[in-house]
Amino acid sequence: MTSQFLKSIRLIIPCLLLGALAPVAVQAQEGRLGVELNKFEPAESGGCRTFFLFRNQAGMTLEAFEMSLAVLDKRGVIDQLLSIDAAPLPIARTTLKLFEIPDIACDNISEILLHEMTACTPQNAEPMDCFEIMDLSSKASAGFVK
């Protein structure tokens, strides 16, 4: 084989692989609600301010969306339960919501557990189980898990 032919093959193969993988990445997000614990910052009250990003690709606006969270300290022990209301979550939008976790420093939080969905209601529809459509992630120093 000629060196020109080998160079052409080296250029074509990565393009084919990227083209084959691109539809999979798009499909993985459709019909899903991404909830990302984006960052922490110390709150003036001495607690911890949390920044959550809600990426609503679920195909519906959520007019009610409340979560019960368990906050675990550095030892992995539940420090407190916290309920947060993030509604509304408009269709096909990314929404930023800030919540304060009282009485615990950010660097003492090891993990936040999504304990329970207390409300999840699409606009003009019956309540549903959002656990089925949620993907959790964290860019903060603590994990965010179901």
pLDDT tens for each residue of 104-135: 999 999 999 999 999 999 999 999 999 999 99
Class of domain 31-145 as given by CATH: mainly beta
Mean pLDDT, the chain, integer = 85
Coil/strand/helix, residue 124: coil
**pTM for this predicted structure:** 0.78
Coil/strand/helix, residue 12: helix
Q: What are phi and psi of 18, to 5 degrees?
A: -65, -40
Q: For the chain, report the end-to-end CA distance as a whole number of angstroms.
A: 54
Does residue 88 have a cis bond before it (omega within 30 degrees)? Answer: yes
pLDDT given for residue 30 in this prediction: 77
pLDDT tens for each residue of 73-110: 999 999 999 999 999 999 999 999 999 999 999 999 99
